[in-house]
């Protein structure tokens, strides 16, 4: 049974039983404390914990997930994958244990001919929580599962909680027995890979608090509305139904293994380690492709770093398979074809995804060359020191800073007859993980008490009236100060205000929050920020500047009209710039993030090369041409599917409901789904002045513009500057560029002549410096201060000339100078001096220590420096002492 068919049957089974089919949410998690959607429940958390009322009593979905905590296990076990699909059916206060258990068993054991999965009941085992008599009774008495195939396990295995106060409860898991060839008898309690968990039924029936550990917490009460959260692993069921050995060999993944085998010339199944590498490639290529489909681009932080790691591990695995050249051009199309039946949206995005992948692969292949050079140097130093281990901090630096994989470091070191201090490396990695966990925990804690908004959200959504009005009457539904609901706030307080209606725009979709006030009888509040802490609820962060306000008071929201006008100009300009980029560069120039506020906009877009000045000007010209055409800006509210059918762009990272707001500027030329505020006609934008274009990663660019009056101010400033330049240069404006070019050429020629004079002057000093040579520690040494020089290169040239002047006798030259008011010392030795034991590196390091800095280098020439120019004579004395010891 193909994976896509398993997915279809699951969704259809529960749809036939009254479940709303919910499309998969993005892999980019809506929870700010998570990088990715790591489990099927993540999109439903607001409904499960009661923060937001569920829009349906029961639902079914197939959710895309990414999880990288077990990334080292990928390819080594039959079931670990970074990208996986979780099938789930959900009840929000509707059905509970009986129906959840009954339906799961029915779907699993109904024959394939009758629409089920056709599992033989004798191959299935079940675990329940140790105290859940109810679940065990349902399995035994209603389903008819033999008692000896129902096992009770403890909190670690069969109890679900988030780790935070809130909903929790027991779960029941269903396992498939692969047979005695895969392990010992004894059921899932053995923990053996023979028993594969395929379905987990979570019964949220308690509210817990005071959590001291996974097994030690207080049960506050039974939940009045009990929820069911289930998850069936699509890949796990697929590998069982398809009769293969692991998830990597199912129809959606195996084609990439075959491609890796073909490219490497190594047969899958012939060598255990090669098999692991091919499975890593197949998993990571698919995972990376799905992340890029959802708008993630490679970078050095956050989600982009995880994506980059997956891509680089793929390159590394192919390298270990003997393929050192680029392979993504062949691997990604294979994965796309295997996945497109389930995700047809891959086909139109495949060009963009392929370009991102190819650019990252090319970059990493260059990184491997650079990392190898750094590692080679470390190996030379290790050998020179007589050691047998490459330092752990060197391995960590290569891994963390340069993206050079630790297994490659181990391999190269082994080839050189060395080992790596793996304990030190692992300690540094653990310290990094601990810092990351602490940061994640801090973020999670800061956002953990969203329950304070639950009661307010239960009263309904905040009505936003700001599309058509700047002032509106409302009433205070709630007040929050220091994270707690309060009945009133007074002069000077900073708090959050929840209103029934508002005209103040909450920050979203790249648009900054409105500025303005909230007023009522006897009080005035300055609005500091406007946010949506939970879906459908607007919170106004305010400071009380007059009077006192209480829950239930009337309120009037007042938007600052000048700020709103500037914000609408900037947001509409963002749409124009985006459309202009796509017109000039093509559809792959896709928005990857934006920010706009009154007078300013920036747009990040997928592209892997700088824009030429001509291209940048063309984009700006097209956008301003659209401004001058006075295009009508049309907004429509319509079903999501209809909007997409009309070509509306859904931007990556944005979450859309079933009904959306579509904004047209010039018809289909600029047609996007957008909840922001906009001008009525493009001419109201005024002027767009592109002031910057830069890189924000190997595959993303950023364009910045001033908009409206701010754009005009910038042009006025530039006009004044040009006028002043013309006056100072005494030429018309049209001749300023050529005049500046002439002056630059003259300056360059003068600098060249000066450099030649300085070189001649330095050369004239060589005989006098050589005459200062004296015997120190068995070598002929020149140790002198030469005053101030223009650069360290001048000092280096002088040192080498003096050394050469001394001839073949063992000679050491150490000269010190001040360069830009900082002391620099350079030491050079000839071959005879080095044979006598005098090496430049240690001598320069000794001198630099006296100067309050550091230094070192090769045996023949080395450099050091510091901050204490007054210690130059002592530094040269330290060199002499080093030669004498």
Q: Which residues are annotated as a binding site for Zn(2+)?
A: 571, 575, 674, 678
Residue 146 burial by CB count (10 A; 0-12/13-18/19+): exposed, middle or buried? exposed
| Residue matched to tokens 């109904």 | 110
DSSP 119-188: --GGGEEEEEETT-HHHHHIIIIII---GGGEEEE-HHHHEE--SSSEEEEEEEEEEEE--GGGS-SS-G
Contacts of 386 by beta carbon, 8 Å cutoff, 6+ apart: none
Q: Return the bridge partners of 697, or none.
A: none
Are the beta carbons of 685 and 627 closer than 8 angstroms? Answer: yes
DSSP letter, residue 733: G
DSSP 329-344: HHHHHHHHHHHTTT-T
Q: Return the bridge partners of 775, or none.
A: 780
Angle made by CA atoms 21, 23, 29, in degrees to the nearest 5: 135
Residues 721, 702: Cα–Cα separation, whole Å: 26
Are the beta carbons of 22 and 10 closer than 8 angstroms? Answer: no
- Binding-site entries: 571, 575, 674, 678
Residues 814, 24: Cα–Cα separation, whole Å: 69
Task: Return the closest-CA partner of residue 300 out of 392, 363, 371, 369.
Answer: 363
Query: CA torsion angle for 176, 178, 182, 187 (degrees, to 10)?
Result: 40
Cα torsion 832, 834, 840, 843: sign = negative
Q: List the end-to-end C-alpha distance of the chain, in Å, as a whole number.
A: 80
Residues 172, 135: Cα–Cα separation, whole Å: 7
- Sequence length of the chain is 885
How are the residues of the chain apportioned to helix, strand and coil, as percentages rounded to the nearest 5? 45, 25, 30
Are the beta carbons of 47 and 40 closer than 8 angstroms? Answer: no
Cα torsion 499, 501, 505, 506: sign = positive
- Token digits for 320? 């270990």
How distant, in Å, are the alpha carbons of 252, 401, 602 from that of 406?
30, 12, 38
Residues 730, 1: Cα–Cα separation, whole Å: 82
Q: Return the bridge partners of 695, or none.
A: 701
Residues 496, 651: Cα–Cα separation, whole Å: 30
Residues 697, 676: Cα–Cα separation, whole Å: 27
- Token digits for 424? 């030190």
- Token digits for 586? 């093509």
DSSP letter, residue 249: G
Residues 572, 565: Cα–Cα separation, whole Å: 11
Task: Return the closest-CA partner of residue 490 out of 501, 474, 479.
Answer: 479
Contacts of 502 by beta carbon, 8 Å cutoff, 6+ apart: 462, 463, 464, 465, 466, 472, 474, 530, 538, 540, 557
Task: Return the closest-CA partner of residue 879 out of 847, 855, 853.
Answer: 847
Contacts of 612 by beta carbon, 8 Å cutoff, 6+ apart: none
Residues 399, 433: Cα–Cα separation, whole Å: 14
Beta-strand runs (E) in 666-802: 670-673, 688-695, 700-707, 774-776, 779-789
Q: Is 340 helix (H, G, I), strand (E, B) or coil?
A: coil
């Amino acid at each position: 049974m193909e994976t896509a068919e398993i997915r279809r049957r699951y969704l259809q089974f529960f749809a036939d039983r009254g479940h709303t089919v919910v499309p998969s949410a993005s892999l980019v998690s809506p929870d700010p404390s998570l990088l990715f959607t790591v489990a099927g429940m993540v999109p439903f958390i607001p409904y499960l914990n009661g923060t937001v009322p569920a829009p349906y009593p029961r639902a079914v979905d197939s959710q895309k997930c990414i999880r990288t905590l077990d990334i080292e296990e990928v390819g080594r076990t039959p079931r670990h994958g970074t990208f996986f699909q979780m099938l789930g059916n959900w009840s929000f206060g509707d059905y509970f244990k009986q129906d959840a258990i009954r339906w799961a068993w029915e779907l699993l054991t109904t024959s394939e001919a009758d629409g089920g999965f056709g599992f033989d009941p004798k191959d299935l085992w079940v675990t329940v929580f140790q105290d859940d008599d109810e679940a065990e009774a349902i399995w035994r008495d209603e389903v008819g599962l033999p008692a000896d195939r129902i096992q009770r396990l403890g909190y670690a295995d069969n109890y679900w909680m988030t780790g935070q106060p809130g909903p929790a409860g027991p779960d029941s898991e269903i396992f498939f027995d692969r047979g005695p060839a895969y392990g010992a008898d004894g059921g899932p309690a053995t923990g053996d890979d023979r028993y594969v968990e395929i379905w987990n039924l979570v019964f949220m029936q308690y509210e817990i608090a005071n959590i001291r550990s996974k097994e030690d917490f207080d049960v506050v009460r039974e939940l009045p509305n009990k929820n069911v959260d289930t998850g069936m692993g699509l890949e796990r069921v697929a590998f069982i139904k398809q009769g293969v050995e692991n998830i990597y060999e199912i129809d959606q993944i195996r084609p990439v293994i075959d491609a890796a085998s073909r490219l490497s010339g190594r047969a899958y199944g012939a060598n255990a380690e090669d098999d692991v590498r091919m499975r890593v490639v197949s998993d990571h290529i698919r995972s990376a492709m799905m992340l890029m489909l959802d708008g993630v681009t490679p970078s050095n932080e956050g989600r982009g770093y995880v994506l980059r790691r997956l891509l680089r591990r793929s390159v590394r695995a192919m390298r270990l398979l003997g393929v050192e050249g680029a392979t993504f051009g062949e691997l990604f199309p294979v994965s796309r074809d295997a996945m497109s039946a389930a995700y047809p949206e891959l086909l139109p995005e495949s060009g963009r995804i392929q370009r991102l992948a190819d650019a990252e692969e090319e970059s990493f292949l260059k990184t491997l060359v650079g990392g190898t050079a750094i590692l080679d140097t470390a190996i030379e130093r290790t050998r020179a020191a007589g050691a047998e281990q490459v330092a752990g901090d060197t391995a960590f630096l290569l891994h963390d800073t340069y993206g050079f994989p630790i297994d490659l470091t181990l391999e190269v070191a082994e080839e050189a007859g060395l080992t790596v201090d793996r304990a030190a490396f692992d300690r540094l990695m653990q310290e990094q993980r601990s810092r990351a966990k602490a940061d994640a925990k801090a973020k999670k804690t800061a956002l953990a008490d969203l329950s304070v908004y639950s009661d307010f959200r239960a009263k309904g959504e905040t009505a936003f009236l700001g599309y058509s009005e700047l002032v509106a009457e409302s009433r205070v539904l709630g007040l929050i100060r220091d994270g707690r609901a309060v009945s009133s706030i007074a002069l000077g307080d900073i708090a959050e205000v929840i209103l029934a209606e508002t005209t103040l725009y909450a920050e979203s979709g790249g648009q900054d929050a409105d500025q303005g006030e909230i007023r009522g009888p006897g009080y005035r509040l300055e609005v500091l920020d406007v946010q949506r802490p939970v879906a459908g609820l607007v919170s106004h962060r305010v400071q009380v500047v007059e009077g006192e306000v209480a829950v239930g008071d009337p309120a009037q929201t007042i938007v600052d009209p000048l700020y709103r006008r500037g914000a609408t100009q900037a947001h509409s300009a963002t749409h124009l710039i985006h459309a202009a980029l796509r017109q000039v560069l093509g559809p792959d120039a896709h928005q990857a993030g934006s920010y706009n506020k009154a007078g300013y906009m920036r747009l990040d877009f997928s592209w892997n090369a700088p824009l030429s000045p001509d291209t940048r000007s063309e984009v700006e010209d097209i956008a301003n041409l659209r401004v001058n055409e006075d295009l009508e800006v049309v907004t429509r509210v319509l079903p999501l599917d209809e909007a997409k059918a009309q070509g509306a762009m859904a931007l990556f990272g944005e979450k859309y409901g079933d009904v959306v707001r579509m904004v047209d500027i010039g018809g289909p030329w600029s047609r996007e789904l957008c909840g922001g505020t906009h001008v009525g006609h493009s001419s109201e934008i005024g002027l767009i002045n592109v002031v910057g274009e830069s890189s924000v990663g190997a595959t993303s660019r950023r364009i910045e513009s001033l908009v409206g009056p701010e754009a005009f101010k910038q042009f006025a400033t530039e006009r004044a500057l040009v006028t002043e330049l013309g006056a100072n240069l005494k030429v018309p404006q049209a001749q300023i560029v050529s005049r500046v070019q002439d002056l630059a050429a003259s300056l360059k020629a003068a600098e060249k002549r000066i450099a030649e004079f300085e070189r001649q002057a330095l050369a004239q000093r060589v005989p006098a410096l050589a005459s200062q040579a004296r015997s120190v520690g068995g070598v002929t040494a020149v140790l002198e201060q030469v005053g101030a020089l223009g650069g360290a290169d001048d000092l280096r040239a002088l040192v080498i000339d003096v050394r050469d002047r001394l001839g073949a006798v063992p000679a050491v030259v150490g000269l010190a100078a001040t360069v830009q008011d900082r002391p620099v010392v350079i030491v050079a030795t000839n071959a005879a001096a080095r044979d006598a034991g005098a090496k430049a590196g240690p001598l320069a390091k000794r001198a630099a220590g006296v100067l309050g800095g550091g230094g070192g280098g090769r045996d023949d020439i080395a450099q050091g420096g510091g901050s204490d120019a007054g210690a130059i004579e002592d530094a040269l004395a330290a060199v002499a002492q080093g030669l004498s010891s």
